[in-house]
């Protein structure tokens, strides 16, 4: 219900459905102000009922993954400064006919891997 729907994009049966048409990049679903710039995100989703074309899933317009087959997909990205803060699902250069489900956008936080360079406890013999 929080999605803005463009030409050829619908939501039914718990899935986002794309019927192609409207030309490249015309079929689109958008949620505004979902991400924060300069933050890291993990994006996952499933493509099903694939018939043809490409689907592009993105945070903003520059951090994206383009796929053209059924399956589960995961990618990581940073919402770029100067980009919008929207989450976008749209058809690619080829009109996408298929469905998207189980979409997840999670901010990646927590401890970063660290290396300990303290050599005071090393044994040299």
Query: Under a CB-based contact definition with an 8 Å cutoff, are residues 10 and 1 in contact?
Result: no
pLDDT by residue (tens digit) across 10-38?
999 889 999 887 777 778 888 888 888 88
Measured CA to CA, the distance from residue 35 to residue 94 in angstroms comes to 27
Output the pLDDT for position 57.
Answer: 92
Q: Name 23's Cβ contacts closer than 8 Å, sequence gap at least 6.
A: 95
Output the pLDDT for position 116.
Answer: 46
pLDDT by residue (tens digit) across 48-102?
999 999 999 998 877 889 999 999 999 998 888 777 788 889 888 888 999 999 9
Measured CA to CA, the distance from residue 88 to residue 57 in angstroms comes to 6
- Angle 41-42-43 from CA coordinates, rounded to 5°: 110
Q: 60: which 2 tokens? A: 């903003």
Query: Under a CB-based contact definition with an 8 Å cutoff, are residues 105 and 57 in contact?
Result: no
Output the pLDDT for position 114.
Answer: 45
Residue 23 CB coordination number (10 Å): 12
Write down the pTM of the prediction: 0.80
Q: Residue 41 is inside which H or E element, if any?
A: strand 40-52
């Amino acid at each position: 219900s929080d999605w803005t729907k463009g030409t050829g994009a619908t939501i039914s049966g718990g899935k986002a459905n794309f019927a192609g048409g409207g030309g490249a990049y015309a079929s689109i679903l958008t949620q505004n102000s979902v991400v924060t710039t300069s933050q890291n995100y993990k994006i996952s989703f499933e493509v099903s009922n694939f018939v043809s074309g490409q689907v592009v899933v993105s945070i903003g317009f520059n951090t994206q993954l383009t796929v053209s087959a059924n399956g589960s997909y995961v990618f990581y990205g940073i919402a770029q400064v100067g980009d919008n803060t929207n989450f976008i699902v749209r058809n690619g250069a080829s009109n996408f006919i298929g469905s998207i489900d189980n979409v997840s956008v999670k901010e990646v936080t927590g401890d970063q891997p660290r290396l300990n360079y303290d050599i005071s406890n090393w044994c040299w013999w």
